[in-house]
């Protein structure tokens, strides 16, 4: 696998085991995550599985998850 970088094609992350939330809808509109061999975490849009992947450190993902749990992003999906 080439060195993972932001924006690389998700299909080039060979061996990545993508996981999506059990809360995802049946139309496949969800975000998927994969832990990479070096410990980083890749994110892709399930509607475009061969599209670009964003690659984050575990600390970056942890900060995002803590913000989600605290409700910091709720305003993005509330009408």
Position 23 scores a pLDDT of 82
Averages of pLDDT over each 10 residues, the chain, 79 residues: 86 92 79 94 93 96 96 90
Rounded CA separation 7/18 (Å): 16
Position 1 scores a pLDDT of 62
Position 59 scores a pLDDT of 98
Position 24 scores a pLDDT of 83
pTM: 0.86
Residue 15: which region, alpha, beta or left (left: phi > 0; alpha: psi -120 to 50)? left
Position 63 scores a pLDDT of 97
């Amino acid at each position: 696998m080439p060195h993972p970088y932001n924006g690389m094609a998700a299909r080039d992350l060979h061996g990545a085991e993508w996981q999506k939330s059990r809360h995802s809808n049946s139309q496949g509109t969800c975000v998927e995550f994969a832990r990479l061999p070096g410990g980083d975490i890749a994110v892709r849009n399930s509607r475009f599985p061969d599209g670009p992947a964003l690659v984050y450190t575990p600390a970056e993902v942890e900060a995002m998850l803590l913000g989600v749990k605290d409700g910091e992003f709720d305003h993005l999906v509330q009408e």
